[in-house]
Structure 1
Amino acid sequence: MAFVPLVAVSITACTSDAADSEPGSATGSATQSDVEKLNVVVHERVPMLADSFTQGLEVDEQGKLLIGTGQYGKSRLLRFDPADSTVLQQEDLPADYFGEGITRSGDRIWQLSWKNERAMHYDADTLEKTGEISYPGQGWGLCAMPDELIMSDGSAQLRHLDPTSFAERGPRSTVTREGSPVSNINELECVDGLVYANVWKSTELLRIDPASGEVNGVIDASALDDAGADSKDNVLNGIAHIPGSKDFWITGKRWADLYRVSFE
């Protein structure tokens, strides 16, 4: 199925003064007065895999989507073409693994597991599994900076990891919004030195300084229509920056649609 073009209309009432800035352009310490409020502008809407319990989302160099999914016995890593909503490649996880966040770093794709305390790595071109590495605690979200990986574990903390060994580099950063910790930090996307994050069961996306943990931007995505099966688990989850643009793909767990959006 082809793209369904939409008129680019803001789905919330107010817009930011920084509407034309590139993602990740905001700087400075985030106090109540300077946490930037952004809104979602929908540009395109395409069919998503309605059975995909989306846990991780990323765009590769060819504009295809890498998708990591969850659920025991159904977890997998996919390469997906949003132009015609087809699965190009697929690698299934063992039935006793619950897949979580994914990211690409160099020639590797990393994928977390929820409670298995294992991170899988794959060849970025073929999606062939090349190994596993252990880590302590739960795995939720993952994204790649040029020199490190950032990981969430369901708490208010972000872990800083070596991109090759997956070893943790301390200390961890605590995510705070106007001085208060924010827990349930989930799917992550690293863009221009900042981290964009889903918060489990929230319709807001957070933009975070990974060094300090401060939230310096909040994006309201509450008006997006999930159009999927009715379930308390089918929440907003999945954010992937489209290289060379200010746009993102966003979706949710078992959502019927995938949205190309900008934050303004």
Structure 2
Amino acid sequence: MSRDDSSRGKKPSGRQGGNFKKKSYARGNSPIKKNTTASKPQDPNSIRLNKYVANSGVCSRRDADIYIAAGSVTVNGKPITEMGYKVKLSDEVKFDGQLLNPVKREYVLLNKPKDFVTTIRDDRGKRHVSGLISSASKSKLLPVDKLEKEHTGLLLFTNDGNMTKTLKSPINGLRKIYHLVLEQELRSADLKKIQEGVVVDEKVVRVQDISFIADAPKREVGIEIYSSRNKIVERLFETLGYKIQKLDRVVYGGLTKKDLPRGHWRYLTDQEVINFKMIK
């Protein structure tokens, strides 16, 4: 058999055929057709209506579809029932007559370490708590309240202005527990005064509870308070002649430091957000 005869009937391989490329075939031996239709560019200033509603915090996206179909959502004064409808960020969207904000509400809890400032003003050269949660969100999250640079503990961040306003001045107060280390031992007489109420700036400060820390020097106390007055714990002890050496906020609302090491953060759970929204 000649060389030509021996190669007869064989399919050339890629190596033998030089620039030969094997064709790809779909089922039925028809060539695969490539999709040559260019994808339509997305408008960065538009968003699906159900996502817009869900981001505003009214409900989930699935429930938003139900409300849209029921005609409860209007865009620029016109009821929209079309699924998949897109709106521009400049449009006026209302749910049952209430104006909505499409920015997704986010809530982050930080266990603040020492030597980080929480003030919003520009503190050049100082480490700010916002740097510790920079990877948590693309939105600008602000602390609900403040902890002094030298103090540590729980700090809540959010872009939910309504919640921030509520938590800063709740009618019934917001539960907070602090672990304090004083520069001198707390006298039992002063402990009793705090329990009964101490006048600070012509207003009586009521504490829910205060006690010495078990198996620790008398300089260490735990205090539970519901007041939202600025720096009230420090001012309370200063009124009695004590200076706080260390302050650590271990409970904020219903939140604790459990499984949250110093300098770390976590997102609030859906139930935790609901609990805070119930505060009046």
TM-score grouping bracket, smaller chain normalisation: under 0.3
Structure with greater helix percent: 2
Question: TM-score when scaled to structure 1?
Answer: 0.23
- Structure number with the higher strand fraction is 1
Q: Over alpha carbons, which structure has the higher Rg?
A: 2
Q: Which has the higher contact order (CA 8 A, sep 6+)?
A: 1
